[in-house]
């Protein structure tokens, strides 16, 4: 006899589980990470900018982005076991999980202050510190927080406790506070420095270490009565320090600096991190195995005590300035130091190509999947005829002092480049020769577009707009109505076009005879825009701003990019498939035009005899079993969706008689991550979460 498991009506609540845009580089994401904690060799969490929380269960080989429920920066994380943890950050943000991060629930200390550090000594007792001398304590796992009196107004950056009574907090102006009664009273300790103290740690009630700006390291062996400076061997700011035993510890900080001690902090030796980004936090589980996180999603790992460090993030961390796709799968991005990346699967994987230059590249344009050009600093022009396997230098005929900013091609032979000082170059033989055109301006030009071999526009500094109707032989000025710099121009047809720049967005419907300013709701300069048709468009700026229109620009709506990294270029294949690139290797993609996917957290719309079971195993690789029950004959569908709401598999789509069923879902070919499976039958609907982990 069938057991009826759904005994009561449940209420359906909705929860946003993903922003409209997802990361393609760096992976797993590119926001700055401020804190990392591991509770064993496999399980750890990292938190960072824009509400980022990530979890790994295999030592950092794969990371799952968790839903924090906030876009505020998170600066610190603390776990007491595999399930129970807290993260704190901007504007008094506190979030708590009791299920390992599957769900994060907001808590409040009642203060709208930056919270920089959190520590818990058990599942109930913890403290947070932040700006203006803020110290708050909880004894019930964060359900309630009590403000403690620090006696100072300086920012407090770090806090640590050795037991329920004894703790220290450090911060700006060399401030150190100590308590011996759980925070009822905090007393100032003298350090002999006024520099910003970034982190404090104690191995016992007497022995502790502080790291600070300009490479300062302080040590105490008497509970902080005296703090003695030690030589770190660096002048870079040190942001975090951690010890695995009283002798062995590491400190990390600016420009990828890592120093290690094996004598309790008396002496420190440099290690080679292999990165130049600011390192914010380190976590070690033993003398060999540790992780360090930092700016722009940096994650590095060591398994030999720091003798070597391996990057766990994407293919390139260099800033990317331009992106171009020839179809939904094949595209290129270019950027700093001659960076060229290519994808042939829509950005799931990016492969570095050899450009042969270290000059910054600001523009890339492909005519087809084989033939393309890139241009940039010092007059650099490169061409490929084999999809980027080989890039050859082209002579543009201009001085190497000029930076080439943007290019457009009407066909495989005819193209244009615009540059600083009003320079416009044209080729009619695929770049073998470039001819200098007369622009009649000395203003720097930043963007160019052509709709055919004759008709094009160029834009630049001081509100410059130029138009040609004869392939660039003659350029006529148009009135922009602004003196702000104009960065990018695109046209949907001979009449309808848009310009992005310091003044916002300008639009024309008569080929540029008149340009009208559109309201975009942002005061910052806009870097680049894209329109796949006359209605749908996107524009980007820094930091992390993406705006979308579906009515040709009459209305612009901000989308959630999930990052505060500056974005410099955007391109679209159609009204759903769009990529944006920017600072420190940022590549974002949307496959639904940027619309947020909503997941019904409480899964069941009741019909008491229908049941959808949790898949097993979960997490899984590469297959898992899904069981369900139907009480009566009817049409049944069972589908799998990715985290953006895109359908990835149809497991069942047919009429089923009453009974119990199970089906194996094979996710071979899918990337690691969170997916959802949905059962629909009659008036019943149920959604559950499953996790693929390679």
Write the DSSP symbol of residue 525.
P
* pLDDT tens per residue across span 438-490: 999 999 999 999 999 999 999 999 999 999 999 999 999 999 999 999 999 99
301 within some domain: yes
**H, E, C per residue of 673-687:** EEEEEEEEECCEEEE
Domain presence at residue 26: no
Among 64, 107, 55, CA closest to 86 = 107
462 and 518 housed in the same domain: yes
Check residues 398 and 16 and name the one with the higher pLDDT.
398
Please choose, from the candidates 520, 501, 521, 518, the residue with its C-alpha nearest in 3D space to the C-alpha of residue 509. Answer: 518
Residue 601 has pLDDT above 80, yes or no: no
Eight-state DSSP code of residue 583: G
User: Residue 397: pLDDT above 80?
Assistant: no
pLDDT of residue 6: 26
| Residues 95, 209 within the same domain | yes
> What 8-state DSSP symbol labels residue 512?
T
Could you tell me if 335 and 352 lie in one domain?
Answer: yes
147 and 260 in a single domain? The answer is yes
Is the confidence at residue 665, as pLDDT, over 90?
Answer: no
Q: Give yes or no for residue 10 having a pLDDT over 50.
A: no
**Does a structural domain hold residue 19?**
no
pLDDT band at 523 (very low <50, low <70, confident <90, very high): low
> What pLDDT, on a 0 to 100 scale, did the predictor assign at position 596?
57
* Structural domain for 631, as ranges: 608-692
Residue ending a domain, among 311, 345, 360, is 311
Predicted structure pTM score = 0.80
Lowest mean pLDDT: which of 6-10, 306-310, 477-481? Answer: 6-10
Give dist(CA 480, CA 512) in Å, integer: 9
Query: Residue 9: is its pLDDT beyond 50?
Result: no
Q: What angle do CA 538, 460, 506 make, to 5 degrees?
A: 40
> What average pLDDT score do residues 372-383 get?
96
Does 6 reside within a domain? Answer: no
Nearest to 625, CA basis, from 659, 662, 660, 652 = 662
pLDDT score recorded for residue 4:
26
Give pLDDT, residue 524: 65
Q: Which residues pair with 322 in a beta bridge?
A: 334
Which residues of 182-223 form beta strands (DSSP E)?
Answer: 187-189, 197-202, 208-212, 217-220
What angle (nearest 5°) sits at the alpha carbon of residue 118, between those of residues 114 and 124? 130
Q: Check residues 625 and 136 and name the one with the higher pLDDT.
A: 136
The per-type count for the chain, helices as H runs and strands as E runs, is: 0, 65
Which pLDDT score, from 0 to 100, does residue 441 have?
95
Most confident of 172-186, 509-523, 605-619: 172-186
pLDDT tens digits for 324-345? 999 999 999 999 999 999 999 9
How many other C-beta atoms lie within 10 A of the C-beta of residue 260? Answer: 17
CB within 8 Å of 16: residues ≥ 6 apart: 67, 596, 597, 598, 599
Distance, in Å, from the CA atom of 212 to the CA atom of 157, rounded to the nearest integer, reads 10
Is the Cβ–Cβ distance between 576 and 592 less than 8 Å? yes
Tell me the percentage of the chain whose pLDDT exceeds 70.
94
pLDDT at residue number 618 = 85
pLDDT at 602: 36
Average pLDDT value for residue range 422-428: 96
Based on the fold, state whether residues 197 and 280 are members of the same structural domain. Answer: yes
Q: Same domain, yes or no, for 534 and 629? A: no
| End-of-domain residue from the set 311, 332, 363 | 311
Cα separation of 459 and 503, whole Å?
A: 13
Number of domains making up the chain: 3
What's the whole-number mean pLDDT along residues 26-44? 95
Q: Residue 503's pLDDT is what?
A: 82
Using CA atoms, how far apart are residues 413 and 453, in angstroms rounded to an integer? 10
Question: 332 and 301, same structural domain?
Answer: no
Of 311, 341, 373, the domain-final residue = 311
Judge if 383 and 300 occupy the same domain.
Answer: no
Here the CATH number for the domain that contains residue 433 is 2.130.10.10
* Domain co-membership, 301 together with 350: no
Identify whether 10 is part of a domain: no
**Based on the domain organization, do 445 and 543 belong to the same domain?**
yes
Mean pLDDT (whole number) for 203-208 = 96
- 241 and 369 assigned to the same domain: no
- Mean pLDDT, range 504-518, rounded to an integer: 95
Query: Considering the domain boundaries, does residue 20 fall inside one?
Result: no
Torsion angle defined by CA atoms of residues 250, 59, 613 and 601, in that order, rounded to the nearest 10 degrees: 40
Whether residue 17 has pLDDT greater than 50? no
CA distance 681 to 386: 51
Percent of the chain with pLDDT over 90: 77
Beta bridge partners of 97: 85
* 225 is a domain residue: yes
pLDDT in tens, 218-275: 999 999 999 999 999 999 999 999 999 999 999 999 999 999 999 999 999 999 999 9
Cis peptide bond N-terminal to 237, omega within 30: no
Residue 12: alpha-carbon gap to chain centroid: 31
User: Same domain for 555 and 622?
Assistant: no
What's the confidence (pLDDT) of residue 633? 84
- Confidence band of 501 (pLDDT split at 50, 70, 90): very high
Q: What is the pLDDT of residues 293-307, one digit of tens each?
A: 999 999 999 999 999
Shortest CA distance to 55 belongs to which of 45, 40, 69? 45
């Amino acid at each position: 006899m069938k057991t009826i498991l759904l005994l009561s009506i449940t209420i359906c609540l909705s929860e946003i589980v993903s922003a409209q845009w997802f990361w393609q580089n760096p992976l797993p994401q590119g926001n700055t990470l401020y804190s990392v904690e591991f509770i064993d060799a496999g399980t750890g969490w990292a938190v960072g900018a824009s509400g980022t929380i990530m979890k790994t269960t295999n030592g950092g080989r794969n990371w799952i982005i968790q839903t924090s429920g906030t876009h505020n920066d998170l600066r610190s994380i603390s776990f007491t076991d595999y399930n129970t943890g807290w993260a704190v950050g901007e504007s008094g943000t506190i979030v708590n999980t009791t299920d390992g991060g599957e769900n994060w629930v907001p808590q409040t200390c009642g203060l709208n202050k930056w919270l920089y550090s959190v520590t818990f000594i058990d599942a109930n007792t913890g403290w947070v510190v932040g700006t203006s001398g803020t110290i708050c304590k909880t004894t019930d796992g964060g359900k309630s927080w009590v403000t403690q009196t620090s006696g100072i107004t300086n920012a407090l950056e770090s806090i640590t406790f050795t037991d329920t009574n004894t703790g220290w907090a450090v911060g700006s102006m060399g401030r150190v506070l100590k308590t011996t009664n759980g925070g009822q009273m905090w007393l100032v300790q003298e350090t002999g420095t006024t520099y910003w103290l970034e982190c404090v740690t104690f191995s016992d009630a007497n022995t502790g270490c502080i790291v600070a700006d300009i490479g300062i390291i302080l040590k105490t062996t008497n509970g902080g009565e005296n703090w003695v400076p030690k030589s770190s061997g660096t002048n870079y700011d040190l942001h975090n320090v951690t010890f695995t035993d009283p002798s062995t510890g590491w400190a990390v900080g600016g420009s990828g600096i890592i120093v290690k001690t094996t004598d309790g902090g008396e002496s420190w030796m440099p290690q080679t991190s292999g990165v130049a980004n600011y390192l914010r936090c380190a976590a070690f589980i033993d003398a060999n195995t540790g992780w360090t996180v930092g700016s722009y999603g940096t994650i590095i790992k060591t398994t030999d005590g720091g003798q070597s460090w391996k990057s766990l993030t994407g293919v390139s961390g260099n800033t990317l300035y331009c992106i171009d796709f020839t179809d939904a799968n094949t595209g290129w991005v270019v950027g700093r130091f001659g960076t060229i990346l290519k994808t042939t699967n829509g950005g799931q994987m990016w492969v570095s190509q050899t450009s042969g230059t270290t000059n910054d590249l600001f523009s890339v344009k492909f005519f087809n999947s084989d033939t393309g050009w890139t241009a940039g600093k010092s007059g650099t022009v490169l061409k490929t005829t084999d999809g980027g396997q080989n890039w050859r230098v082209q002579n543009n005929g201009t001085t190497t002092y000029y930076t080439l900013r943007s290019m457009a091609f009407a066909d495989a032979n005819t193209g244009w480049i615009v540059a600083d000082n009003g320079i416009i170059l044209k080729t009619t033989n695929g770049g073998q020769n470039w001819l200098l055109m007369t622009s009649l301006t000395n203003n720097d030009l930043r963007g160019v577009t052509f709709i055919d071999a004759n008709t094009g526009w160029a834009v630049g500094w001081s509100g410059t707009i130029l138009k040609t109707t004869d392939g660039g032989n003659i350029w006529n000025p148009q009135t922009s109505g602004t003196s702000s710099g104009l960065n990018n121009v695109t046209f949907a047809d001979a009449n309808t076009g848009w310009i992005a720049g310091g003044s916002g967005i300008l639009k024309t419907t008569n080929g540029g005879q008149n340009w009208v300013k559109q309201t975009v709701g942002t005061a910052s300069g806009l870097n680049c825009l894209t329109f796949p048709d006359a209605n749908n468009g996107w524009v980007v700026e820094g930091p992390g701003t993406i705006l979308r229109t579906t009515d040709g620009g009459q209305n612009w709506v901000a989308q959630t990019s999930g990052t505060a990294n500056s974005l410099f270029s955007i391109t679209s294949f159609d009204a759903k498939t769009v990529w944006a690139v920017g600072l420190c290797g940022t590549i974002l993609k949307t496959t639904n035009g940027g619309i947020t996917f909503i997941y019904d957290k409480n899964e069941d719309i009741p019909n008491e005899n229908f049941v959808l079971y949790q898949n097993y195993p979960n997490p899984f690789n590469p297959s898992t079993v899904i069981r369900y029950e139907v009480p009566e004959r009817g049409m049944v569908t069972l589908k799998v969706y990715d985290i953006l709401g895109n359908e990835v598999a149809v497991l069942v789509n047919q009429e089923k008689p009453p009974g119990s069923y199970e089906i194996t879902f094979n996710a071979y070919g899918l990337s690691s991550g969170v997916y959802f499976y949905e059962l629909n039958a009659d008036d019943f609907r149920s959604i559950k979460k499953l996790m693929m982990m390679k």
